[in-house]
Amino acid sequence: MPAKTRYFSDMDDHLNGRGITPSQLKRLSRERQNAYMRYWFERNFEDPAHETPYESREGGYQYLWGGPYDALEELEAEFGSIIRFERIEEAAKNIEDEDGILEWAPGLDHSDKKPPADEWEEEILDEKLKRKSLDDILIDLKSGITPKYGDDAELQLRQTAIEKLVHLKQALAASTPSHGAIGHNRPPFDEEASEEAAVHEAREAQETISAELTKQEPNALQVAEATSRLQKVSNWLGNKADKAVDHFVEAFGKAAGTAIVGGLAAVYFPSISEAVQAVTEWLAHITAKF
C-alpha 232/C-alpha 117 separation (Å) is 39
- 56 confidence band (pLDDT: 50, 70, 90): confident
Cα 96 to chain centroid distance, Å, stands at 38
Out of 19-23, 117-121, 160-164, pick the least confident: 117-121
* Residue 166 pLDDT exceeds 70: yes
Q: In whole numbers, what is the pLDDT of the chain averaged over residues? A: 79
Based on the fold, state whether residues 157 and 226 are members of the same structural domain. yes
* Residue 84 pLDDT exceeds 60: yes
Based on the fold, state whether residues 138 and 270 are members of the same structural domain. yes
With respect to residue 48, please indicate whether it lies within any of the assigned structural domains: yes
Residue 141 pLDDT: 94
Based on the fold, state whether residues 72 and 200 are members of the same structural domain. no
Domain count, the chain: 2
With respect to residue 2, please indicate whether it lies within any of the assigned structural domains: no
Based on the fold, state whether residues 21 and 101 are members of the same structural domain. yes
Pairing label, strands 60-61, 105-106: unpaired
Q: Which of 47, 76, 106 is the last residue of a domain?
A: 106
- For residues 243 and 72, the model is more confident at 72
* Residue 146 pLDDT exceeds 60: yes
* Residue 9 pLDDT exceeds 50: yes
* Residue 130 pLDDT exceeds 70: no
Q: 38's torsion region: left (phi>0), alpha (psi -120 to 50) or beta?
A: alpha
CB distance 135 to 101 below 8 Å: no
Based on the fold, state whether residues 135 and 260 are members of the same structural domain. yes
> 243-270 pLDDT, tens per residue?
544 444 455 444 444 444 444 455 677 8
C-alpha 57/C-alpha 289 separation (Å) is 37
Based on the fold, state whether residues 165 and 239 are members of the same structural domain. yes
Q: Which of 71, 106, 141 is the last residue of a domain?
A: 106
Based on the fold, state whether residues 99 and 122 are members of the same structural domain. no
Out of 53-57, 106-110, 130-134, pick the least confident: 130-134
The amino acid that residue 204 corresponds to is E
Based on the fold, state whether residues 32 and 80 are members of the same structural domain. yes
C-alpha 234/C-alpha 72 separation (Å) is 60
Residues 6+ apart with CB under 8 A from 10: 35, 39
Q: Which of 68, 84, 106 is the last residue of a domain?
A: 106
Residue 208 pLDDT: 97
Domain that holds residue 25: 14-106
